[in-house]
Structure 1
Amino acid sequence: MDLLKKHLVKPGASIKLASMKTVPDGPFEGKDDARNYCEEIIEKLREMQYRLFVEAKQSLLIVLQAPDAAGKDGLIRKMLGRMNPQGVRTYPFKVPTPLEKSHDFLWRVHKCTPATGMISVFNRSHYEDILAVRVEKLAPKEVWSKRYDMINHFENLLAANGTRILKFYLHISPEEQLERFKERLDRPEKHWKLNAGDYESRDKRPAYLEAYEDVFKECSPKHAPWFIIPADKKWYRDAAVGSIVYETMKEMSPQLPPVDVDLDKIRRLYEREKAELEKT
């Protein structure tokens, strides 16, 4: 199943999010089929991530952007977070601190990009410095409009140093978002997520969609593409993102390093130590 091509935003493409589906139209037969697929993909991701970590020659950056309640946390917990944490780091980007504001907007982001052999997952990202800044009018257009090129240069730098970049927008409908807000209200263990501002942001949905559309048009080159994932069904969201990450890691083709020790000698040493232990 080529979900990578299905959800890819091609360079320079003009996207109209209001006309795009938030409910999947295949290829899975339903929830159980997708969840079985997820379990298969997770095992494959673990193997690929192990090879990437041991090879230590390239890295992977995964960017997650979405409206509130679209499922960034759930996607990390159910899919991406199940790889070996020794080689994966997750970074949530919230409102900048005073120290972060005293630097350029990419300062706090650059230090979280993955070292060779590592995977970084961004829960929100440097794109907030265009999206939120634009919609919430935190800076004038003459400031945020220059950031498209700055981000492209930044991602070019990462790619030139061996980092593959995948950027996902989780596309959720207003109806499904409201249902998930209600779930938070009904479940005490999710009350910590409640925020009146989430409801106020719903009024700004058209402005955010327009801002995202411009980001997709300006910042989806082949080496750092965007993918728009229908997110009303959590099981499809997880399966689609997992599949795209796996297909990308297959393209990266990380390899275990060649053996540079005398295996026969190691086996003899093992047998000797084993025999000594059996004597005692």
Structure 2
Amino acid sequence: MANSLGISAINKSFSSTPKISFRNSAKTTWVSRNYYKELIMKKEFIMKKGYFWYLLLLLLAVYFIAIAFVPSLHLILDGTSLLALLFGLFGLSKRNLILFFIGLGFLSIYLKDVFHFTYSTTPLFAGIVLVGIVLHNLIIPRSSYTYKSKSTSHHHFENEKSASYIDNETDLYLRTFFSENTTYVSSKQLTNVYINTKFGEQSIDFTQAQFMTDSPEIRLDIAFGQTNIRIPSNWRIINKTSTPFASISFSGTPDTSSDSDIISVALTGTVALGEVDIQY
């Protein structure tokens, strides 16, 4: 009798134990993977569309408005901390270690003022920036002149809908400041091209353009930004730029079938703490 009662109690306990559903577990894993995938896609969308900077400016606007009503907030976020935040976020968004370490340098100044540390800020700031310069140049090549194979099946940049088109100009001045711009140039009589990119990304397509001068030249003024230049396959870029802590890369394959059609284009100016990608 006792044995039968014990066995029935054990069976009852097993029957009351919640069952593990591997199907539900797999479904949960699938949902979580999709969730993180969507987060990554949203992050890439924000970075590619340039909304990152609008969001940052909006946060700064909220901060300044808040200070007007609560002046004591400036003790938490002052100019030094804002510089640290600006350089740090921009360095992360552009994968530039120099900018990121400059942000760390400003952060060291801010922390000393807040916590009254006794270290000297000038040599510490210089040392942090030098570490960033060394790491950036070790990880990211200063410049690259090797032609990488790249699919050319697409003929448009990603933000094509917001692009501008130029077809009759001779002198071009293309400027981007804290934004992201795309320009398609189809002018057949170019003489001067000047590209200015500061704290943003600029993409220019010259595949349908032609120079009407004996000495074609594209002058760059790039700082803390990225510039993508797409050129015809018969153009040959002669790089004469000054590139302090910058990266110049080439992608695609130039046309070598006929030397008579080759057009030499001088690339001049300065690229500082930025990137230039020339695509065939």
Shorter-chain TM-score tier: under 0.3
TM value normalised by structure 2? 0.27
Give the structure with the higher percent strand: 2
User: Based on CA coordinates, which of the two structures has the bigger radius of gyration?
Assistant: 2
TM value normalised by structure 1? 0.27
Give the structure with the higher percent helix: 1
Bigger relative contact order, structure 1 or 2, given CA contacts below 8 A and separation 6+?
Answer: 1
